[in-house]
C-alpha cells in the first residue's frame, strides 16, 4: 500500500512540479548569496554576511516550504485508498499513510538542508557551518508535522481545493506572532519563528502538541468506523 501511495505522489505531474520548485529555490539562493566582492572583504565581514544569509534564507524557506509540504500532503485522501480500509482496517491504513508522509517530510527537509549549506559553501568565501542552525530544520520539520495533522483532520477529497489555505494561515499566523509577542498565541499554535531565540521548553511543548494531534487523528478515525 505504501508503494502505491509513493507511485501516486511521485509519478504524476507533481514530480515535475517538485523538480521545478527545487530548481527555483536553488536559483533564488544563488541570486541571494552571490557576492563578487574580494576574498579579504568577505573574510572581514564574514560574521555579518553569515547572519544576513541565515536570516534571509530561513525567511525564504518559511515562506516556501509550507506550500511544498501541503502540495504533497493534500492528496492523502484519494479514492483508490478506500478499498484498503476494508481489507487492512482503517487504523492500519491511517498509520501507513502517516508513516509514509512523515518519511517524505524528512526527505524533503533533508534535501533543502543540504542545499542550504552547499550553495553558499560553493559560491562564497565567508560561509561557515554552525550546528546551531540545524535546529531551524528540526523546527521546520516539526512545523511540517503540524501541517500534516491539520491536513489529515480537515482536508478531504471534495475540499482539496481549500488545502492551500493551511500554509497561507501558517504564514499569516507567523506574521501575527512576530508583531504580537504573546505566549498564549504560541500555545494555541506553536510554529517556529527564526528571529526568536530557541527555548528547549517550547521544543518539548511542540512535541507534546504533535503527539496530541496524532491522537486526535486516531480518535477521529475510530469515530468514522461507526
Instruction: Say whether pLDDT at 43 is over 70.
Output: no
Instruction: Say whether pLDDT at 60 is over 60.
Output: yes
- By residue count, the chain amounts to 226
Closest to 12 (Cα-Cα) out of 99, 72, 98 = 72
User: Which residue intervals of the chain are DSSP H helices?
Assistant: 2-10, 13-33, 39-44, 46-73, 82-88, 90-123, 134-154, 165-179, 183-188, 200-224
Residue 197 zone, left/alpha/beta (φ > 0; ψ -120 to 50; rest): beta
Return d(Cα 110, Cα 132) in angstroms, integer: 16
76 with 147: CB under 8 angstroms?
no
159 with 75: CB under 8 angstroms?
no
Three-state SS annotation for 4-47: HHHHHHHCCHHHHHHHHHHHHHHHHHHHHHCCCCCHHHHHHCHH
Task: Express each pLDDT in 105-163 by its tens digit.
Answer: 998 899 888 888 888 888 777 777 777 777 888 888 999 999 999 988 888 767 777 88
Task: Express each pLDDT in 186-204 by its tens digit.
Answer: 778 888 776 555 566 777 8
Task: Express each pLDDT in 74-97 by its tens digit.
Answer: 877 777 677 777 777 788 888 888
52 with 130: CB under 8 angstroms?
no
Least trusted range by pLDDT, from 5-14, 63-72, 139-148, 172-181 = 5-14
Amino acid at each position: 500500500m505504501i508503494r502505491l501511495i509513493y507511485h501516486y505522489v511521485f509519478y504524476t505531474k507533481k514530480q515535475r512540479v517538485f523538480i521545478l520548485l527545487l530548481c527555483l529555490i536553488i536559483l533564488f539562493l544563488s541570486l541571494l548569496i552571490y557576492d563578487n566582492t574580494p576574498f579579504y572583504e568577505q573574510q572581514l565581514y564574514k560574521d555579518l554576511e553569515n547572519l544576513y544569509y541565515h536570516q534571509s534564507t530561513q525567511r525564504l524557506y518559511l515562506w516556501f516550504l509550507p506550500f511544498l509540504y501541503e502540495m504533497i500532503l493534500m492528496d492523502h485522501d484519494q479514492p483508490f485508498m478506500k478499498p484498503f480500509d476494508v481489507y487492512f482496517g482503517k487504523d492500519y491504513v491511517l498509520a501507513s499513510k502517516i508513516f509514509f508522509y512523515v518519511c517524505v517530510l524528512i526527505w524533503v527537509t533533508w534535501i533543502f538542508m543540504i542545499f542550504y549549506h552547499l550553495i553558499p559553501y560553493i559560491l562564497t568565501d565567508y560561509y561557515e557551518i554552525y550546528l546551531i542552525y540545524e535546529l531551524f530544520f528540526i523546527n521546520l520539520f516539526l512545523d511540517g508535522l503540524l501541517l500534516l495533522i491539520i491536513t489529515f483532520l480537515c482536508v478531504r477529497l471534495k475540499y482539496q481545493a481549500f488545502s492551500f489555505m493551511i500554509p497561507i494561515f501558517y504564514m499569516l499566523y507567523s506574521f501575527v506572532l512576530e508583531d504580537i509577542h504573546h505566549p498564549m498565541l504560541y500555545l494555541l499554535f506553536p510554529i517556529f519563528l527564526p528571529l526568536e531565540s530557541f527555548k528547549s521548553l517550547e521544543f518539548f511543548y511542540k512535541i507534546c502538541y504533535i503527539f496530541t494531534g496524532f491522537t486526535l487523528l486516531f480518535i477521529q478515525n475510530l469515530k468514522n468506523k461507526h
